[in-house]
Amino acid sequence: MIKYIVRRTIQAIPVLFGITIVVYGILLAAPGGPTAKFAQNPRITQEMKEDFKRAWGLDQPVPVQYCRWMGFCSKEVDAKILGVLPAPAAFIGPKGWPNLLPTPLSGASNGVLHGDFGFSISTGELVNKAISRAALPTLILASSALVVWLVVAILIGVYAAIHRYSLFDQAATVFAYVGYAMPTFWLGIMLIFLFSGPGLNILPAGGMTETRVSPPFGSDDYWVYFGANTVAAILDIGKHLILPLFTLVVVSIAGDSRFVRASMLEALGQDYVRTAKAKGLPARTVTFKHALRNAMLPVVTNIGLELPLLFTGAIVTETIFSWPGMGRLTIQAINSFDYPVLMGILLIAATLTVFANLLADVAYAVVDPRITY
């Protein structure tokens, strides 16, 4: 098992490497760019633009930019081959070892390989810092969404399968179709309208904390406040969490409750379930020990493939509900052509996706004894 996980992790390296190239390529091909925002501003001269480009290294040929961003090349060496490719000398770090080696060996600290995603073009802040500030809110939203999603989808699916064609099953079917068909942004806005509008007004329309009471989430002041009023702070976040959470999970629950139901129905019709009944086992044991475990096999894979939805779904949801997470940061970065931030986010999302798949495969192997590595 450990060997399998290690092997899969090593296999992920070329995949992730490929992803960095693709991500870079896509952003290059996209119209606009970091300098686009100056186009409309008459006070910015051509000279200032050149200075800006030089300062950010945007004057360099693309391969050099990429190598520096990745951390293959040293930033200090300007030498190039044919004026396009980085010269061999550029691959040597300050200590005379290859630049891509870990910092203590190479002396280099630039680039993704050294954990450095550069600076945000729009705020000048370290990308690492911007992302880590946004990571916790997204983690809170995504992990609570994951729990609600799995528990609710499995409960609905299993119950509907056991009581097939019952009123509950039919209601679940209707919910699934409606939920699946509903656009996330529309659902979010409707929820705000319903629960935060002038009528009910029982839930906050956005944000993560009550701004009149607590400092902005993630700031140093906030943690002081959090330490002093832990329970109130957690309840406050919980209250702000309800609507975005619901918006985020509805589609997944709608789809997966159907999937669980189908899978469970199939398992309930299998010969081994009949055997379990013939052994005199109580209905509960037959359903949960014998049928459900088998029914979960395809579900586990499916969920692994759907995990990235939490991230992509968060982009829309966080924007609607001003949730200060990665999704909102993504939109902000796109709007301001903040490529370093965007690249960092995309790379992290890709890594998470690759490991979500690995996790699904491992989980599958754990529940199915027929899988060998």
Partner 1 sequence: MTETLSAPAPLGSPPAHEVLLDVRDMKTHFKVLDGIVPAVDGVSFSLGRGQTLGIVGESGSGKSVTALTIMRLLDIPPAVIGAESEVWFDGREILHMPLDSMRRIRGKDMAMIFQEPLTSLNPVLSIGEQIGEQVRLHLKVSRHEARDRSIESLRSVGIPSPEARIKQFPHEMSGGMRQRVMIAMALSCEPKLLIADEPTTALDVTIQAQILELLKVIQQRTGSALLLITHDLGVVAEMVDHVVVMYAGQVVEQGTANEVMLEPKAPYTMGLLESIPTAEKRGGRLSVIKGVVPSPFHLPPACRFEPRCPYAWDLCHEVAPELYPVVGSGSGRRARCHLHQAAGESRRVAALELHADAMRVGRGLKEDPA
Query: What are the residues binding partner 1 (CB under 8 A)?
Result: 270-272, 274-282, 285, 289-290, 293-294, 297, 367-370
How far apart CA 23 and CA 36 sit, in angstroms, is 19
Q: Which is nearer to partner 1, 77 or 160 (CB)?
A: 160
Cβ of residue 297: shortest distance to partner 1, in angstroms? 8
CB of 307 to partner 1, least distance (A): 23
Query: How many Å apart are CA 68 and CA 56, to the nearest integer?
Result: 11
Report the residue number, 198 or 369, with the smaller CB distance to partner 1: 369
Shortest distance in whole angstroms from residue 285 CB to partner 1: 7
Smaller CB separation from partner 1, 176 or 268: 268
Return the SS3 of 92.
strand
| Residue among 212 and 370 whose Cβ is closer to partner 1 | 370
**81 has which bridge partners?**
85
Nearest distance in Å: CB 2, partner 1 = 21
d(CA 94, CA 119): 21
**Which residue in this structure is represented by tokens 């606009």?**
32
Neighbouring-strand partners of residue 119: 126
Element (H, E) at 164: none
The minimum distance between CB 184 and partner 1, in angstroms, equals 36
- CA gap 44, 41 in Å, rounded: 6
Toward partner 1, which CB reaches closer, 141 or 303? 303
**Nearest-angstrom CA–CA distance, 260 and 328:** 32
- Quick one: 129 or 289, whose CB is closer to partner 1? 289
Smallest separation (angstroms) from partner 1 to the CB of 161 = 13
Question: d(Cα 281, Cα 169) in Å, to the nearest integer?
Answer: 25
Closest approach of Cβ 124 to partner 1, in Å? 55
Do 327 and 311 form a contact (C-beta atoms < 8 A)? yes
Q: Smallest Cα–Cα separation from 112: which of 343, 313, 309, 349? A: 343
Residue in the structure block whose two tokens are 């050099």:
64
Q: Which is nearer to partner 1, 7 or 164 (CB)?
A: 164
